[in-house]
Structure 1
């Protein structure tokens, strides 16, 4: 699928932020189509969503301390960035290039041919892009973004970006309702199934995905006076009912071009090591209060992490690099699922398969969102119910991760007995009265492992890296020089589109300052 994907994307994207040439009117350009079937546009767009999250996960995962670099003093482990580089700019490219004019063309074909479900999908994709991009970059270009007559673009304020998410979601829901009204079908549409590698044409699941975006948007404004816990709970309840509803994109895994980003064929994690934070979350020292490692603390431990050759789990404390690098006998094996003689990890586990699906949102994460919102409201009983649903759902997801063309897996990595033992054990709170905010957010952190450190980092920033909530998170011993002692809070816009062609617009909100990445974003402020 992905070979076709990027050929189509390159051919269709004109007048985007990546363009350094004068705009060429597609109506007079014989090499550019004037109309394209929406079904042919959706596969490359969906693949671009996965690409955007996972390419940037390499760097954002270091900010969230999901993992760290194998070598010491890596700038991302120091909460810095690489000047003059597009590193951590892939989501920017996704919003304005992979989605970009492709979504506009999808809308044009759908409107001309009354394909209401494709209009619903198109607006859902826009909403997802604004939400994900807004979380990372704060200021975004919205009003002028897809105006092909412009070569430079004015930014919109973050509050406008977050409001646009909801506007797009409501548009999407309206078009799905119109599609159902037109043909009486709220389920699988053969027309939508032609191009849909996420839900295979199931309109009802797309509607649930839209509500997951709305739930994320509402939760991320938790520090605002207008925050509504009830809205978060409402949107979650209208969203995924189980892991069968999870949003994920198909990977074929036949070669490096269509393989899962974290699979052994691509080998993208060779330079990374698991963090000390995730090791201690899983081995019992944080959640269960163990004085030392208890390898039975969490049955997900051998699925998610690798042991050293002496059978001990170790992790990076940034920016120190691999803690075992001085001892060849205890070197942490790289991720990427490669089988090694002593690691206890094989290729076919968790999301490390070549054909593992690219996950975008899951049921357990949404349950943790609901739990946090209700906890903040003071509804401890409701918060506890959602918390337990989240833990159960996360164990189920790790045991049966989605693979290949299937939306749910069938591998059963964790036995029902092991899951029940963990749920009854010291790492899981046994009553609403004992539940703490840290329990909710740290279980959520585990459930996001590998597939979405962007959401992990959003949580950490919303609570300003509070060590009472993220109990294993340790501020790096050395921060990047340009930070001036401050921690990182935003990602700089993509260098090759913005810092080359759009500098006056960047200067309007201080994005050219060396320490701009330490600016606290609007969504976390009161």
Structure 2
């Protein structure tokens, strides 16, 4: 990784005494020698838009999205010569990079404990995201001056360091800090406005997130579980604590495009080249199909074109009995796109909203098994914000002024539920599960902005009032509070729904640690034991040990899959993204070549299983 530095330039304000005095301020003629610590903060936090950039790669890999753009990721194969899927890498090493290091170091030197504590919390969160996506990363060498090459650290060391940074953050934020910051922190902190108590909760959430990825390890219950439980108890206490990055918005009138959400209509990033996957529609609508065990084909049943296939008898999130109280999950009307009701009529009428139809696409095509997937804005064409029919400023979190969601109380509760499940504490798991679902209903409702009745100009197709009414019914129904047979599938699939789609990176963590529900023997799958060159074996939905019911990868032998991966994958799905090309493959090849068990320069490096997904240690 080539050494790079990012300097913030101070605005030339108040320079009334002439050019000569200004030139005396700094010895460095290109950038200020000294920037006050708090001035780094706004820029550092705004870089979290990079997480949404990479969901273009991770969404298709979790079957939250299909894509006609990032097709290599949807197919679990990507070549060396590309920076696609490398934005989190760029964020950590470059966009936040030395800005964050300088903020922490200067704050520590000045004994500005609050600002330093916030810096360490941000650092822990960012590096946790980085290693989960990419596996091994340069850590100890990352910001050492003068290095022209950087050795990689293995993931177990990075994981421990992430938690140590989070613990340091908590310790610093809990220190007495009598410095009068005025509005220096609050006006530059676009996440918690300088609220120390919430930053402490956030740092604990990072620990929860970090340890939650280790639940399939053999020593999880004895080594990690209690620390996760303790951190969860000190973390978020309600959806009011959700970590989100506030944006100014402004759409086309914004002075800079980045003032708008990366997924909003003003920035054509989530246009019709990304769309909901058919698996997402099946989960949200309770239409996971039954497959003939002999052929892998769906079983045709009836003449209804919207329900042409026999459905699995066991649905996890909801079912099609939408007119029975508690059987309809209203999150479908918010999180998914639909072409139904394009003029936004009767948005507060339950019968009308429940009648919407949803279609999902394939991995790399909008055409799915029963219809064509719309854009996330709800039309079968690219988004536009002009004309008599348009998408306005978007909807829900696909909206110009929507915040970036970093992590939530709901996510923490699902991590806790899974941990209790692994410990055999089923009653505690159920309580955390219910809190998780109820919290996601609250978080989902928060960003609803209904469209204008009678006008095809964008917005959500349900009111907050109706959503909350239907959410209360759903929470008290048979899939949540009234559930009488809680399984690991209920916990993990509800977590997947809660993460949809902003948390695709964490959903991918969960799918990988459970090895995509691949059928194999021993501790983890391998060539000849779970997959071959042209076929991949996945557990049937009837298998009690299958976590993600209805999930099948592209080479699985069921209808609408039955494909194959690029021959260079050697049959394996992807387990990591490659490092950023213009950093590592241009400048740091020797370090990449030394990685084990698969070299970073190998054609199938993306299939190298990361440490968190091995039940034991990585093979040498």
The answer to whether the aligner puts 1:452 opposite 2:483 as a matched pair is: no
How has the CA–CA distance of structure 1 residues 315 and 324 changed in structure 2, closer, same or farther, with 3 Å as cutoff?
closer
2 CA distance for matches of 1:386 and 1:500? 46
* Structure 2 alignment gaps of length 5 or more: 10-25, 289-314, 342-355, 450-462, 518-538, 540-545, 555-562, 616-620
| Aligned residue number for residue 52 of structure 1 | 50
| Aligned residue number for residue 115 of structure 1 | 112
SS in structure 2 of the partner of residue 193 of structure 1: coil
| Aligned residue number for residue 281 of structure 2 | 279
Cα pair 1:285 1:291 within 8 Å, conserved: yes
Cα pair 1:302 1:344 within 8 Å, conserved: no
- Higher-Rg member (1/2): 2
The answer to whether the aligner puts 1:416 opposite 2:460 as a matched pair is: no
1 CA distance for matches of 2:423 and 2:63? 29
| Aligned residue number for residue 427 of structure 2 | 381
| Aligned residue number for residue 344 of structure 2 | none
Deviation at 1:288, TM superposition (A): 5.1
1 CA distance for matches of 2:473 and 2:135? 42
SS in structure 2 of the partner of residue 389 of structure 1: helix
1:402-413 matches, cutoff 5 A: 412=464
SS in structure 1 of the partner of residue 66 of structure 2: strand
Cα pair 1:78 1:479 within 8 Å, conserved: yes
1:284-295 matches, cutoff 5 A: 284-286=286-288, 287=315
Cα pair 2:433 2:491 within 8 Å, conserved: yes
1:190-229 matches, cutoff 5 A: 190-227=183-220, 228-229=224-225
2 CA distance for matches of 1:309 and 1:430? 31
1:49-448 matches, cutoff 5 A: 49=48, 51-70=49-68, 74-178=71-175, 181-183=176-178, 190-227=183-220, 228-254=224-250, 255=254, 256-270=257-271, 271-286=273-288, 287=315, 297-308=328-339, 312-319=357-364, 321-323=365-367, 331-336=372-377, 349-401=395-447, 412=464, 414-428=466-480, 430-431=482-483, 434-448=485-499
Deviation at 1:480, TM superposition (A): 2.9
1 CA distance for matches of 2:413 and 2:183? 31
Match of residue 517, structure 1, among 599, 606, 614 = 606
How has the CA–CA distance of structure 1 residues 506 and 402 changed in structure 2, closer, same or farther, with 3 Å as cutoff?
farther
Deviation at 1:217, TM superposition (A): 1.2
SS in structure 2 of the partner of residue 213 of structure 1: helix
SS in structure 1 of the partner of residue 244 of structure 2: strand
Deviation at 1:89, TM superposition (A): 0.4
Cα pair 1:349 1:413 within 8 Å, conserved: no
Per-residue CA distance 1:168-197 (angstroms, 9 max, x = gap): 11211121122xx23399xx9744213211
Per-residue CA distance 1:40-85 (angstroms, 9 max, x = gap): 1011110112x221010110111111101148x9222111124311
2 CA distance for matches of 1:323 and 1:40? 48
Cα pair 2:377 2:395 within 8 Å, conserved: no
2 CA distance for matches of 1:414 and 1:147? 55
1 or 2 for the larger relative contact order (CA 8 Å, sep ≥6)?
Answer: 1
Cα pair 1:277 1:473 within 8 Å, conserved: yes
2 CA distance for matches of 1:223 and 1:514? 28
Match of residue 504, structure 1, among 590, 602, 611 = 590
Cα pair 1:12 1:101 within 8 Å, conserved: no
Match of residue 493, structure 1, among 579, 595, 598 = 579
* Structure 1 alignment gaps of length 5 or more: 1-8, 14-26, 404-410
2 CA distance for matches of 1:465 and 1:344? 38
Bigger Cα displacement from structure 2, 345-354 vs 266-275: 345-354
Per-residue CA distance 1:110-152 (angstroms, 9 max, x = gap): 1333211111011112211221111011101111101121121
SS in structure 2 of the partner of residue 451 of structure 1: coil
| Aligned residue number for residue 21 of structure 1 | none
What value does the CA root-mean-square deviation take over the aligned residues? 2.9
Deviation at 1:336, TM superposition (A): 4.5
How has the CA–CA distance of structure 1 residues 210 and 290 changed in structure 2, closer, same or farther, with 3 Å as cutoff?
closer
2 CA distance for matches of 1:84 and 1:115? 43
How has the CA–CA distance of structure 1 residues 289 and 394 changed in structure 2, closer, same or farther, with 3 Å as cutoff?
closer
Bigger Cα displacement from structure 2, 417-426 vs 351-360: 417-426
How has the CA–CA distance of structure 1 residues 220 and 294 changed in structure 2, closer, same or farther, with 3 Å as cutoff?
same
For these two proteins, the number of residue pairs brought into alignment is 487
Cα pair 1:309 1:331 within 8 Å, conserved: no
Bigger Cα displacement from structure 2, 226-235 vs 127-136: 226-235
Structure with greater helix share of residues: 1
2 CA distance for matches of 1:445 and 1:412? 22
Cα pair 1:284 1:294 within 8 Å, conserved: no
How has the CA–CA distance of structure 1 residues 64 and 473 changed in structure 2, closer, same or farther, with 3 Å as cutoff?
same
SS in structure 2 of the partner of residue 68 of structure 1: strand
Cα pair 1:134 1:161 within 8 Å, conserved: yes
1 CA distance for matches of 2:29 and 2:244? 36
2 CA distance for matches of 1:475 and 1:274? 16
Deviation at 1:304, TM superposition (A): 1.2
Deviation at 1:86, TM superposition (A): 0.3
How has the CA–CA distance of structure 1 residues 378 and 428 changed in structure 2, closer, same or farther, with 3 Å as cutoff?
same
Cα pair 1:142 1:161 within 8 Å, conserved: yes
2 CA distance for matches of 1:355 and 1:244? 19
Per-residue CA distance 1:252-279 (angstroms, 9 max, x = gap): 1123221011111113122011011111
2 CA distance for matches of 1:66 and 1:293? 24
